[in-house]
Amino acid sequence: MSALEGPSLHLRGHILLGDDREVSDLWVKDGHVTLTRPSAQGTNMLALEGWVLPGLVDVHCHVGLGKDGAVDNATAQAQAIADRDSGALLLRDAGSPLDTRWVRSRRDLPRLVRAGRHIARPKRYLRGYGLELDDVAQLPDVVRQEARAGDGWVKLVGDWIDRDLGADGDLRPLWPQDVLTEAVAVAHAEAARVTVHAFSSEVVPSLLAAGVDCIEHGTGIHPDDMYTLSERGIAVTPTLLQINEFENIARQADAKYPLFAARLRDLHERRYEQVRQLHEAGIQLLVGTDAGGTIGHGRIADECAEMVAAGVPVADVVAAASWQGREFLGYGGLVEGSSADLVVYPADPRENIEVLRHPTAVILRGEIVAPV
């Protein structure tokens, strides 16, 4: 649509720009937001009314990952579309064995921030998912490689079951402190941030000492460490949909790794209390589904509902899933001239988290991509 034809969309009602910022009208012109009433309205302009949020954010998903490792491009596309149609228009891919750079050239698919591949050790993570380093001394060089290949993020596996211990196998940190610290410094020198898979309590002090930027899952973070995370601005992604699977994983591990199974059951039992304590400590909580692998894509509303069930105020969850998540990834809220990546709802999701399940319209780059 040319400039002479005016805007293509007029959104009215409650336009939530960010924390404590709301307007009653917004227009979309040439794929971008304008908050100034246009002089020419355009003959084909569509009006939509409701509660309008910046597109939702899934900060922990895996486009291109299936339960056995990499999937084909067609499956990855279907995963991205499922996320998009749920209202998740910005994705941080927290590790994928598939090269998904092509997603970024597709205007009909969500914006994708890639973290490269998971970095782990042999037999110390899920088979087929990540890069497995035979020598821990390789970690800094591999981090440099993945930082340059990704979009400003590197994903490390911080702990996993030590299968070499047999029945005594349990969650154990993967990396020596000196190597981990050097690797994080290498990532920062490449202008990349580091996020780390962490289930156990034992791994957290080493992550803090190394200076990581974000922790995924965080089921074992001790209260004594929570305030350090808060002071340093280290965010945590609880991934409650994934933690809900711990009982199933424990059942499979019972016979061979009883200590590991018992640990997972304990973490599962305390999952809501853990998230509530993280929130009360002032830690920034991010919303991530851990989709890919065994979790289906397009479940951002389910993850938000789980966080509310854990005791996080609904308004805080909505903010984390929208403008705060976007700000964390460097995209920010809605301002004059920003890309029109929006979700329209029939009611206020800050009053009822279930509203997120039923968007009136999903608008990506100024185009309605998922009317319902």
Confidence of residue 115 (pLDDT cuts 50, 70, 90): very high
Confidence of residue 50 (pLDDT cuts 50, 70, 90): very high
The pLDDT assigned to 1 comes to 38
Q: 28: Cβ–Cβ under 8 A, 6 or more apart, which residues? A: 7, 8, 9, 10, 11, 34, 340, 342, 363, 366
The pLDDT assigned to 3 comes to 42
Q: What is the mean pLDDT of the chain?
A: 95
DSSP annotation string for 128-187: TTSEE-SSGGGHHHHHHHHHHHTTSEEEEE-EEE-GGGGGG--EEE-S-HHHHHHHHHHH
The pLDDT assigned to 6 comes to 73
Strand 56-66 to 69-70 pairing: antiparallel
The pLDDT assigned to 38 comes to 85
The pLDDT assigned to 141 comes to 98
Residue with the two structure tokens 């999952």: 271
Yes or no: say if 289 and 239 are a contact pair by the CB < 8 Å rule: yes
The pLDDT assigned to 20 comes to 84
Residue 2 has pLDDT above 60, yes or no: no
Q: What is the pLDDT of residues 309-332, one digit of tens each?
A: 999 999 999 999 999 999 999 997
Report, as an integer, the average pLDDT of 106-119.
97
- Structure tokens given for 350: 């800050």
Task: Say what percent of the chain tops pLDDT 70.
Answer: 98
Q: Identity (one letter) of the amino acid at 66?
A: G
Confidence of residue 372 (pLDDT cuts 50, 70, 90): low
The pLDDT assigned to 7 comes to 81
Report, as an integer, the average pLDDT of 53-65.
98
Q: Classify each residue of 291-300 as buried b or exposed e, where b means 16 or more C-beta atoms within 10 Å of its C-beta.
A: bbbebebbbb
CA 97 – CA 73 distance, rounded (Å): 12
Task: Say what percent of the chain tops pLDDT 90.
Answer: 93
Report, as an integer, the average pLDDT of 208-229.
97
Report, as an integer, the average pLDDT of 229-242.
98
Chain centroid to Cα 190, Å, comes to 22
Residue 257 has pLDDT above 70, yes or no: yes
Report, as an integer, the average pLDDT of 283-307.
97
Q: Identity (one letter) of the amino acid at 343?
A: V
| Domains observed in the chain | 9-53+332-371 (2.30.40.10), 56-321 (3.20.20.140)
Residue 43 has pLDDT above 70, yes or no: no
CA 110 – CA 75 distance, rounded (Å): 15
Q: Classify each residue of 237-274 as buried b or exposed e, where b means 16 or more C-beta atoms within 10 Å of its C-beta.
A: bbbbbbbebbeebbeebeeebeebbebbbebbeebbeb
Residue 104 has pLDDT above 70, yes or no: yes
**pLDDT top residue among 177 and 38:** 177
Confidence of residue 42 (pLDDT cuts 50, 70, 90): low
